[in-house]
Structure formats: structure tokens, C-alpha cells
Structure 1
Amino acid sequence: METRKNVFYNVLLAITQVLFPLITFPYLARTLGPEHVGVLNFAESFAKYFVLLAALGIPIYGVREVAKAASDRTLLTKTFSEIFIINALGTLLLSLVFLVFIIAVPQLAAEQSLFSWALGYFILQVFQLEWFFSGMNQFKFIAIRSLVIRLCFIAAVFLFIRNTNDYVNYFRMQVGLAVILAAFNGKRLWDLLDFSGFSFARLELKKHIKPMALLFLTIFTISVYFSLDTILLGFLADNESVGYYSSALKLNRLFIGVLSAISVAMFPGLVSLYHKGEKEAFVLLVKQCFYVLVSLSMPLVLGIVTCAPEIIHILLGTAFDRAILPLQITAPLILIISMSGIFGFQILSAVGKDKSILISALIGMFISIILAFLLVPTLKEEGAAITILLTELAVCIAFVFFTRKEISLSNYTTVFFQQLLGLIPYLGIVFLFKLFVPTLLLRLLVIGVFSLAWFVVLQLFILPDTVFRTQWNRLADRFNKEE
């Protein structure tokens, strides 16, 4: 029951992550234009890359350790304090490196005001503490907190960004909201932790260094292909190319975020089941997650590839036509990254196979670097899109290879091909309404409604023993009992 609630709140949070950018991003794109959107995304990617490095593997390690210590408040307080201090020290050190970059690198020095605010945003991310609240299964708190912050951000965007010269205000708002977020977190921390007997002398920072170092190396290699793509495009091409590529990737990552929320919510439960020795329950939960993610991601990929021109023109306008092909190229990432989330950051991480994750990430890093320098200088945003697609595919294949050593994957291929065959009617729906519905928005809405109808029919009435059918039957039985 708790896992279902966690999934519900995490998916709710992810849906807000989709809906709110769909309100603000088209406005920002039309108000600021491709070049200023590009420089903003360049600065944001740069800052988030430093956030990722300063985290030192904590987004995975911290969740795991907090989940283990959650039942003992004294141990929990000690564990949190040790991990937070390590994170804070890493942030302090890297903030000095960030400052040197702002002064010494011409591309950053040309936008010194923007990157100075980006530095403030980076420093304040140490107080976000998503790893702690996820490990404590505080998904309801995370969802409510984020909803409030995002509502404030939407209001601020329309109030403070009115023309192309206001692009620096984007990071000023981010800094202000990060301060509010820190206040929310401080209040909640005080309720969950007990600092009455706290002592710095009792802290054991060293015991975390070795496991965190391995995860940090993994995260660093992942960051080369997952976070550096936009940064490399900025250096190897230009801000305008960054604007087209980042806009396309951002749209796909909105859906990736919703699907990843399912994996994130299940992760603490998987860790707990594995360490309790309940392998059958562990495998069943993984299979259910796999089914849900595959059945949702495949139609999304098909819809984005076939309707990319309509999506770009409605959301961003005709000025972003160059984002259409990158959007189509990167659409399969919705499926690929969902699979990586299951096989890499669910199974392999839950069973402690961090070295396998590291090897997979190293494969991705080398492929990414080679392809980026080969493709980006000439193909620009399209080259960056091809690079991230092939890189993530290679990493996903590596994850599957290592996962096969831990659990049997015989039933997974059956599910995959069942869902693949189920895509055929979606193609008919798309091409039918593309021919007969002339208005862009109406066309997308009609395609969406009929595609949803086919999804319900496929999952509830055609395919045997689906997760959706099981849940539907449970709801029906509960409703009948109440009557």
C-alpha cells in the first residue's frame, strides 16, 4: 500500500513537472527567442553539471543509506549529518572552480551576470535534500513542496520576463525559489531528525568515502553524456544550436521525468525487499514496473516522432523549426532511459552492483565523447541528438547484459514484443487524422483522445494479465463490496 502511495505522489509530482513547463517554456521561447533560450539552457546545464559533481553520488547512495537507517532516529540523524557535510564540502570546493570558470572562460565571461546568478543557484542546491526525503518515503511532502514552488515560479516568469533583455531574471528567480525551498526543508528536517545529542566528534565521514567514490565515478561518467551534451554543443557550435537542441530534448525529458518517477518511488521498497531476502517479491515488483514503463513509453515515442511538427509549432512557434528533427531523433530516449532506469538504477543499484553500473557508464562516456567531436561541429543540433541517442542505447544494452546475471529476463522480451505489435493501430490513428483534421491543435487533441482509447482497450481487454487489468479488477471488486 505504501509503495502505491509513493508511486502516486511521485507520478503526481512528475506530471506537474510536465504541465508547468508546458505553460512557461512556450512563453519563454516566444519572448526570448532561440539565441537567449540557448544561452539560458547553456547556463542551466553548466550549473546543473556542477550540482551533479558536487553531489558525489549522493542521489543514489543517500537514498539507500537513509532507507536503511529510517527506523532508528538517532542513527538517521547521524547518517544524514555525515552525508550532508560531505555534500556541503564538495559544493564549497566546486563553487570556487565555478567562479574561476566565470572569470577565465570567454563564453562565460561574456555573460558574467547570468553565470554569477547560476553560481548562486548551484550553491543553494545543497539544501534541496531530495535524497533524504526520498529515502524516508516522504513523497507526499516532496510533491506538495514542489507544487508550491512551481506555482510561484510560473507567476514569477510572467511577472519578471517581458522581453529579451529579461533573460537574466530567470536565474534570479531560481535563486529566490531555492531559498524558499531550503526553508521548507529545514522545517521538515526538524520534525524528522533528533539533534539533541548531536556531536561532530561522533561523525564518521570516512566510512562513506569509498562507496561514494565509486558512485561518484559512475555519476561523473554518466554526466559526460547526460549533462555535457548541451555544454559541448555550446562550445563546439553556437548558442542558437543549443536553443534548438535543448528545446527538443527538454520536451522529451518532460515525459522521461514522469516515467522515471515510477522507478524512483519504487526504489526504496526494492532496496528493503532485497535486504530482507524477499527475492520473489523483489522480482515481481520489478516486472510490474517494467510492464508499466514499456506500455506507456512506446506510444509516447511513436506519437512524438509522427507529430513532432505539430508539437513544435504549437508550443514554440515556427521560429523553432530546426528543433523538429532533433525532437524526432531523441524521442526514443523516452523508452531507452526508462529501460535504463529499471535495469541499471533499480535492479543493479538495489543489489549493490555499482561496478556494473560504472562499466556501463564508462561505455557511454567514451561513445559520447567520440561521437560529439565527430558529429556536432558539422551537424550541430542534429549531431548532438544522434550522439545522445546512440550513447543512451549503448548504456541501456550494457545494463541489460549485467542484469541478466542477477535475474531471468525471459518474460521481459514477450512483454516488449506484445507492446510493439500494439503500436500498429496507433499508426493508423495518427495518419488518418493527419489527413482529415487541418487545425494543428485540434489534430493533436483528436489523436491523443483516440490513442488513449486504444491504450485502454489494449491493456484492459486484449492483452492477457496486464498490470492495468489487475489494478482495474481490484478497484472493481472494492467498488462492488462497498455497494
Structure 2
Amino acid sequence: MSVKKNFLFNSVLLVSQYIFPMLVFPYITRIFGASTLGLVSFVDGICDYFVLFSALGLTITGIRAIARANGNKEELSKTFSELFSIHLITTTLFLIFYTILIFTVPKMRISNELFLISIAKLFFNVFLVEWFYRGIENFKFITVRTILIKAIYVVLVFVFVKTKNDFTIYYILTCSVIVLNSIVNFLNTKGKVSIHFRNLNLKQHLPSFFNIGIYILVTSMYTTLNIGFLGFASNNTSVGYYSTSSKIFMIVLGFFSALNTVLIPRLSSLIVGDDQRTFLDLIHKSLNVVITFSFPIVFCGFMLAKSIIYIISGPGYDGAVLCFKLIIPLIFILGLAQIFANQILMTIKKDKELLKASIVGAICGITLNFILVPHYKEVGTSIVLLISEITVTAILYSYVIKFTEFRLPVKKILVNIVLSIPYIIISFITMAIFSKPIVVLAIAGSVSGLYFILSQLFILKNQLLLPYYNKLLAIKS
């Protein structure tokens, strides 16, 4: 399947992972309030951290290993069995540790019921095997499966979650999405691979598994762990504010993550085939996507933050507005970081360099967490995330320059920034004339969208969009 089709399916997949929850998010924020929502987010954040611990570098290692073995069923089955065995072992160990913490840590013991529910999410993540389907580039299956299960999830939330006291039911349904996806995924591997536990060579995967895994874990110390640290250092309301802004932010970021995930197996095969020219060409196309879409999103998102938060979350979430403004620039920064880390450095197997960059980011994040979060709560957490990600991205780029011929098109970036200033003017004038958030967002969004199309096609003559415009003209003529 082509990169374009894979990108389309994976874009739908990754965005749906945030869009479907966001269909119910405005509903549950109004029912639960910031405090109860913060409690659920706190529990889920801690569980997610253990999911990361148990999976380590399997997401990237698995995709790369499966992509190399694809085409040889015997080798594919052996590789799958080895990776699955490693994940099963690590998950068992961390599951035991996680259960002990639930009953011994006071903050976790208070929310004992929710943490026990989260065990299912941690355990069934072993059978999710998303890395397998991404490695064989079967994005169509996981996209269709995810959409169907998430659609059921949305319906069940509206049916069974009615009052503030139904937060336990809500979390059960949330964890059930992972459980069902895992069951369907694992059953569907039948016929594609045969699982066995004989004559396996687990050692060959361990260096990459641990190197990339430590990189991901260390990176999570200033991303995923932020919610956990905020929960312990502050209160559920602050977690509710931060998680609200974070959820909205992650929907947009999912678009760029989709392209990264699609390109990893394709870029790995190009490196194996020593096709440097095509490799760099794909990287520049990916960068063009980030530059084209990130600046309009960042400028409009910053200006319209209050309207966005109000429309999605309702009243009572004013504390999330500043958080959203602080982290929205990360759309561009993380877009670059994903290209530098996932598409370039991981593909050319510079795992140690990735680890060094993440360690610096972790030190920066942990230090700033202790300094800022106790005093500035959710705002401090947002600042920590922003500074840490900028630091890591800068280090990653220094390694990219060192090991590859890739260079950032600084002039192109500056031109796009200058041409994004009208988004500020459009938003400012709209907010000055209208007061209702839905009206502000609708008018500013529409005018900004029109300006985006005109500026990209007729001023920048963007090669990413021009082919589609020319095809449209050809159809009309």
C-alpha cells in the first residue's frame, strides 16, 4: 500500500483516538467538573506510565523488526513470537509492581477502585500488538477496527454515564476500549503469523528494545509523568485543567504523529537499500506538512484559546486557557522533534544519541517540576513541558546535522511565520466584534481557513497543495 494511503488510514486512526473521546469530552466535563475529571485523569496518567514501562521500546523496535521480516512468513512468525514474549515478560513484572503500589501508596490507595480497573488496561496492552500491523503496513485493518470500537464506546458513555457519581463506569468503559482492541487485534493475527516459544532469540532485540525504551521512558518524565507529578504535588482540579488543555492539544498533534508512524517502516527499508536520495525526499515532504499546517494552528489556537476551551469543556475550566496557550506552540516544536527522532535518528539507528537527548530533557523536566509545579500548579506543568521539549528538539537537531545531510529550511520557516501574522489580526478583530465563543470560533476559523488556502496557493505556491488545486481545476473544466 502506498505512503499516501497509509498516511490517510493512519491519520484517521490516530486522530480518531482523540476525536472519539472528544465527542464525549464536552459531555463528561460538564457532568464531572474539573475535580472529578482530574481524579480520573490522574489514575489514567499513572497507568499510562506503567504501560510505557512494560512496552519500553517495543513500539519502534517492533515496527522496524517486523518491517524487515515481512515477506517471509517463517521469519515473520519467529520475530513476532520473540517480540511478544519480551513484552509478556516485562508486563508481568510491572503488573506485579503496579499492584503492590496500589495497596501501599496512600495517594493511590484513596482511589483504589479506579486503579484496580486500570490493571486491565495494563495487562491487555500485551495483546494489542499495534507494532505488528504497523510493521506490515496494514493500517486499513486497525483503522476500521478502532473506529467501530470507539463508536460503540461513545454510545455506551452517553447511555450509562449520567451523573457525577458515574465516573467509575466511565473509566471502565474507557479501559474496555483497549481490552476490545487487543482481543480483536490478537485474534486477527491468526493466519498471518504462528506464535511459538521454541528456539527464540530474544537477545537480538534487547539492545534496541532497551535503548529506545529508556529514551521513551526518560522522555515521558517531562510528558506523561507530568500529570502524575501534578496530581501528587497539587490537587485533582489542577489536573483537570491541565488534562483538558492537553487532550485538545493531542488531537492536533495526532495528525503529525500519523505521518511519522507511516514513514518509519518505509524509511527503514530505504536505509537498508541505501536509497539516500528518496530517504531525504520523504523527510522534506514530511517537514513541508509540519511547516504548512503547524503555524496556522499555533497562531489561531493561541488567539482563540478561550473560545476553544469554553466550547469543548463548558464553564468552570478557565484555568485551562493559559495552559493551552503555553503548550500550543509545541505543535511546531514536536512536529520537528518527531521528524528528527522518529524519522531520521531512529531510522539510521542512532539510539544512543536519542537517549542522550532525552536524558537532558528529563533532567530539565524533573528539575523544573520540583521548582515550578508546587507554586504554579497546572501553569507550572505547562511551562515545564514547553521548555523541556524545546531543549530536547534543539539537541536532536544537532545530532541530525552531525550524522545526515538534512538541514532545516530556515528561510521557508521564517516566511511562513510572517505570513501567519494575519491569523492574529483576524482573530483579534473577530473577538472585538463578537462575544459568543461559538460565533468567534466559527467566523475567525472560516476567514482564517480562506486566508490559509489563498496564501498557500497563490503566495507560497505550496507544492503540497498545488497538485490537488490543479486536479480540482481540471475536473471543473
Normalised-by-shorter TM-score class: over 0.9
Q: Which residue of structure 2 lines up, in the alignment, with residue 225 of structure 1?
A: 222
The answer to whether the 8 A contact 1:10-1:139 is kept is yes
Q: Which residue of structure 1 lines up, in the alignment, with residue 188 of structure 2?
A: 188
Q: Which residue of structure 2 lines up, in the alignment, with residue 279 of structure 1?
A: 276
Q: Which residue of structure 2 lines up, in the alignment, with residue 144 of structure 1?
A: 144
Q: Which residue of structure 2 lines up, in the alignment, with residue 97 of structure 1?
A: 97
Q: Deviations over 1:7-54 (max 9, x none)?
A: 111112233234323311111111111111001000111111000010
The answer to whether the 8 A contact 2:401-2:407 is kept is no
Alpha-carbon distance change, 257 to 199 in structure 1, aligned in 2, over 3 angstroms: closer
Q: Deviations over 1:157-191 (max 9, x none)?
A: 11221111111112311343333222321332013
Q: Which residue of structure 1 lines up, in the alignment, with residue 60 of structure 2?
A: 60
The answer to whether the 8 A contact 1:124-1:175 is kept is no
Residue 99 of structure 1 aligns with an amino acid whose one-letter code is: T
TM-score (norm 2): 0.96
For the residues of structure 2 that align with 1:11 and 1:212, how far apart are their CA atoms?
Answer: 26
For the residues of structure 1 that align with 2:140 and 2:191, how far apart are their CA atoms?
Answer: 15
Q: Which residue of structure 1 lines up, in the alignment, with residue 348 of structure 2?
A: 351
Q: Deviations over 1:166-219 (max 9, x none)?
A: 1111231134333322232133201322x2xx6522211122122212112212
For the residues of structure 1 that align with 2:390 and 2:433, how far apart are their CA atoms?
Answer: 36
For the residues of structure 1 that align with 2:42 and 2:365, how far apart are their CA atoms?
Answer: 18
Alpha-carbon distance change, 102 to 176 in structure 1, aligned in 2, over 3 angstroms: same
Q: Residue 375 of structure 2 is aligned with which of 361, 373, 378?
A: 378
The answer to whether the 8 A contact 1:291-1:467 is kept is yes
1:147 CA displacement: 0.3
1:259 CA displacement: 1.8
TM-score (norm 1): 0.95
Are 1:335 and 2:332 an aligned pair? yes
Question: What is the RMSD of the two structures over their aligned residues, measured on CA atoms?
Answer: 1.6
The answer to whether the 8 A contact 1:18-1:258 is kept is no
Residues 358-367 or 417-426, more deviating: 417-426
For the residues of structure 2 that align with 1:229 and 1:178, how far apart are their CA atoms?
Answer: 22
Alpha-carbon distance change, 42 to 199 in structure 1, aligned in 2, over 3 angstroms: closer
Q: Which residue of structure 2 lines up, in the alignment, with residue 46 of structure 1?
A: 46
Q: Which residue of structure 1 lines up, in the alignment, with residue 2 of structure 2?
A: 2
Identity %: 31
The answer to whether the 8 A contact 1:42-1:230 is kept is yes
Residues 290-299 or 385-394, more deviating: 290-299
Alpha-carbon distance change, 304 to 162 in structure 1, aligned in 2, over 3 angstroms: same
Q: Which residue of structure 2 lines up, in the alignment, with residue 469 of structure 1?
A: 466
For the residues of structure 1 that align with 2:283 and 2:292, how far apart are their CA atoms?
Answer: 14
1:475 CA displacement: 6.5
Matches within 5 A, 1:70-149: 70-149=70-149
Q: Residue 453 of structure 1 is aligned with which of 446, 450, 473?
A: 450
Structure 1 unpaired stretches of 5+ = none
Matches within 5 A, 1:163-312: 163-193=163-193, 195=194, 199-312=196-309
Q: Deviations over 1:239-291 (max 9, x none)?
A: 11111111111111111112211111122111111111111111011001001
For the residues of structure 2 that align with 1:267 and 1:296, how far apart are their CA atoms?
Answer: 21
Aligned length in residues: 477
Q: Which residue of structure 1 lines up, in the alignment, with residue 28 of structure 2?
A: 28
For the residues of structure 2 that align with 1:418 and 1:263, how far apart are their CA atoms?
Answer: 24
For the residues of structure 2 that align with 1:107 and 1:375, how far apart are their CA atoms?
Answer: 21
Residues 14-23 or 456-465, more deviating: 14-23
For the residues of structure 2 that align with 1:476 and 1:343, how far apart are their CA atoms?
Answer: 36
For the residues of structure 2 that align with 1:461 and 1:84, how far apart are their CA atoms?
Answer: 51
Residue 357 of structure 2 aligns with an amino acid whose one-letter code is: S
The answer to whether the 8 A contact 1:291-1:415 is kept is no
The answer to whether the 8 A contact 1:121-1:171 is kept is no
Matches within 5 A, 1:307-322: 307-322=304-319
Residue 245 of structure 2 aligns with an amino acid whose one-letter code is: A
For the residues of structure 2 that align with 1:314 and 1:176, how far apart are their CA atoms?
Answer: 28
Are 1:160 and 2:157 an aligned pair? no
Give 3-state SS (helix, strand or coil) of 1:46's partner: helix
Q: Which residue of structure 2 lines up, in the alignment, with residue 360 of structure 1?
A: 357
The answer to whether the 8 A contact 2:20-2:150 is kept is yes
Alpha-carbon distance change, 426 to 94 in structure 1, aligned in 2, over 3 angstroms: same
For the residues of structure 2 that align with 1:418 and 1:192, how far apart are their CA atoms?
Answer: 48
